[in-house]
Amino acid sequence: MDEHIAALRRDGFAWIRGGLGDAQSALEAAHELISARCAAHGDGLPVVVGDFVLPPLDGPPTRDFQTLHFDFGVPLDPRVPKDLGRWTALHVCSGASPVTAATRLVPLRGLLSQRDWPPREELLDRLSSYGRTHGAWDDTLGYVEGSLARLVEAATGEAALPSVKTEPGFLCGMEFHNLRAEAAFFERHSVPLDGVEVEIGLRPGDLLIFDNLSHAHGRRGTRCPGELRQWVFGDRELNVARQVAAREEVVSAFDRRCVDRTVGPGAEAASVP
């Protein structure tokens, strides 16, 4: 287990290959790993805020990909207490029908370090402004963003994706028709996925745990009903101040290439460790 704890700390994700045939043993392993990771950081122990069978047993198979996203979303402009997902655990039970899909992980720092970004205050302005036009249906409840593409678009200040706020019936997560269209979006914004995205093909008995705030995740391929068990570990009814702290973790991923325009064009502010 030590190697997986080290991987979680070093890489932001840990992949336990095989040996966890049933959901109970996988959940216990996830608890153990996340507890050790949080204890090492002096963080409180998160609780399970989401427990899902995916896709649902009584539903159809999934479509052949899933856009990059954050479970429970990132609180970009928090106003009221909300649940927050900090860690996601994915498990495939032994006996699951042949699994062909792969989970896609994209580390935010690696992705965002490929281009320059505005200074922090301007960045925060852009994020909350995007939320007012493209985000929450009810602004008094704040703005939580689940889509990596929308986070990037908000940060660029060039809103082009359909607004879930003003286009009735449009669902977040349906921004792209296929993986090529999603990849082209990130390429267009000078943050290509190539060389950054990691694909993990979970097999029966495998468990994957990743940091849901430092990594966006999605899927390549189709999953059959009941194929995956997903637990989201985090905080229930997190207060606004602690949601702001969580947002800062995410926003800090832009810092490495923030341009400090107060000291001249092209100058870079010091990166946050």
Using the rule CB under 5 A, is 145 a contact of Fe ion? no
For the CB of residue 272, give the shortest distance to Fe ion in the complex, in Å. Answer: 26
Q: How far is the CB of 86 from Fe ion (least distance, A)?
A: 13
**From its phi and psi, is residue 197 left (phi > 0), alpha (psi between -120 and 50) or beta?**
beta
Stretch that binds Fe ion, among 35-43, 65-73, 160-168, 181-189 (CB under 5 A): 65-73
Given a contact cutoff of 8 angstroms between Cβ atoms, the answer to whether 256 and 239 are in contact is no
Size of the site for Fe ion (CB under 5 A): 1
Task: Enumerate long-range contacts of 164-167, CB under 8 Å, 24 or more apart.
Answer: 164/134, 164/135, 164/137, 165/133, 165/134, 165/135, 165/136, 165/137, 166/133
- Whichever of 175 and 255 has its CB closer to Fe ion, that residue is 175
By beta-carbon proximity to Fe ion, the closer residue of 111 and 123 is 111
Residue 228 or residue 258: which is nearer to Fe ion going by CB? 228
* Cβ neighbour number for residue 219 with a 10 Å cutoff: 22
Under rule CB under 5 A, residue 71 binds Fe ion: yes
* Nearest-approach distance from CB 48 to Fe ion, in angstroms: 15
- What's the one-letter identity of residue 164? V
Which of the ranges 12-20, 31-39, 63-71, 112-120 carries the binding residues for Fe ion, by CB under 5 A? 63-71
Q: Hey, is 74 helix, strand or coil? A: strand
71 vs 227 by CB, closer to Fe ion: 71
Q: How far is the CB of 202 from Fe ion (least distance, A)?
A: 13
Backbone angles phi, psi at 99, to 5 degrees: -100, 125
CB 259 within 8 A of CB 119: yes
The reply to whether 211 sits near Fe ion by the rule CB under 5 A is: no
Measured in residues, the chain has a length of 273
Footprint of Fe ion on this chain (CB under 5 A)? 71
